[in-house]
Chain A
Amino acid sequence: MTVDLILFLILALVSVATAAGMLFSRNAVYSALFLVLNFASIAVFYLLLGAPFIAMAQITVYAGAIMVLFLFVIMLLGAEQLAPIKVLPWQRPLAIGLAAVLVAETAFLLIMRARPAADIIPPAEAVNTVGELQRLGMSLFNQYLLPFEVTSVLLLVAMVGAIVLTKREKGERE
C-alpha cells in the first residue's frame, strides 16, 4: 500500500460519498454543496494525475462559477424541496436496478478486458510532458485553435441565449 494508493482510496471514498450525498439530499442546497465537495475531490485526482491546469479549471469553473450559479438559481426559485408526488412508481427501483447492472457491466468490462499496465508503453519523447503547462498552451493554440475559437463563440451564444430566455418580456406579468 503506497501513499498514493491510500490517498486515492480516501479521495475515492470522499467522492463517492459526496456523490451519494448529492443524490439523496432532500434539500437542493445540500445537494449543491455536496457536489462542490465532489468536484473538489475530483480536482485533487487531476493533480494526482499530473494535470494541474485542469485541476485549477475544475476548481474555478466547476466548483466556483457553475455551482455558484446553481446555488443562485436554487435560491432564486425557492425550489429547495419538492412536494412528494409519486408519478412513476416503478421508475426508481428500475433505475437502481439498471444502475447496478451498469456498474457491474462496466467493472467487468474494465477489469476483464483492460490491458495490463505493463503493456502500455508511453512514447519516449513524450515522457514528462503532460504536466508542462506550456506544452498544453502550445497544443491548445496550435493544434486545437479552431475548436478553441469555436468554444468562445459557443460561450457567447450561450450567454446571449441565457439572457434571452430569462429576460422579462415587455408587458409580461410577474
Chain B
Amino acid sequence: MVPEIYYLVLSAILFTMGALGVLARRNALIIFMSVELMLNAANLAFVSFANTYQQLDGQIIVFFVIAVAAAEVAVGLALIVAIFKSKHSIDVDQMSSLKG
C-alpha cells in the first residue's frame, strides 16, 4: 500500500500547478484547463480519503464533481465562445472593462 500521504502530496502539487496555470497564463482556454486540473487534484484527494477510510462518500462526491465539471465546461466554453465573438480574442488580460 502506498501511504495516503503520498497521494495527498501529489494532489497538493497538482493543485498548485493548476493554480499556477490560472495565475500565469493569459489564454482563457488554458486557464480553464488549469481549473480542470485543480478539480482533478481535489478529486484525487477525495478518492484517496475514501480508500483510507473505506467510505464510499468520497467517491460519490467525486462523481458529482465530475458531473458538475461537465456542466461547467459546457457553460464555460460557451462563454468563451461568446466573448470571442465580441472581442475576437480569448486573452483574459484584454477583458478588463470592469477596472476601477
Shortest Cβ distance from residue A12 to the other chain B in the assembled complex, whole angstroms: 5
Residues in B whose Cβ lies below 8 Å from that of A58: 40, 43, 66
Residues in A whose Cβ lies below 8 Å from that of B77: 69-70, 73, 162
**Does the CB pair A73–B24 fall under 8 Å?**
no
Shortest Cβ distance from residue A126 to the other chain B in the assembled complex, whole angstroms: 4
**Does the CB pair B63–A23 fall under 8 Å?**
no
Residues in A whose Cβ lies below 8 Å from that of B68: 151, 154
Which single member of B23, B32, B59 contacts A136 (CB below 8 Å)? B59
Q: Nearest chain-B residue to A139 (Cβ)?
A: B56
**Does the CB pair B16–A54 fall under 8 Å?**
no
Task: Give the number of residues in A that approach B within 8 Å (Cβ atoms).
Answer: 85
**Does the CB pair A42–B56 fall under 8 Å?**
no
Which single member of B24, B27, B84, B93 contacts A95 (CB below 8 Å)? B24
Q: Nearest chain-B residue to A157 (Cβ)?
A: B71
A166-B51 contact given A110-B12, A155-B71, CB 8 Å threshold: no
**Does the CB pair A91–B70 fall under 8 Å?**
no
**Does the CB pair B54–A129 fall under 8 Å?**
yes
**Which of B10, B73, B74 counts the most A-chain CB atoms under 10 A from its CB?**
B74
Residues in B whose Cβ lies below 8 Å from that of A111: 5, 9
A122-B53 contact given A79-B84, A165-B81, CB 8 Å threshold: yes
Cβ proximity bits B3-38 to A, threshold 8 Å, 1 near / 0 not? 111111110111111111101111101101110110
**Does the CB pair A35–B5 fall under 8 Å?**
no
Bound form: Cα–Cα A126–B58 in Å: 14
Residues in B whose Cβ lies below 8 Å from that of A15: 10, 14
**Does the CB pair B51–A110 fall under 8 Å?**
no
Residue B1 at the A interface, CB < 8 A? Answer: yes
A114-B44 contact given A19-B37, A120-B52, A136-B60, CB 8 Å threshold: no
A85-B91 contact given A16-B13, A158-B71, CB 8 Å threshold: yes
8 residue pairs bridging A and B, Cβ less than 8 Å apart: A31-B29, A54-B43, A77-B81, A79-B84, A79-B89, A82-B91, A102-B19, A148-B64
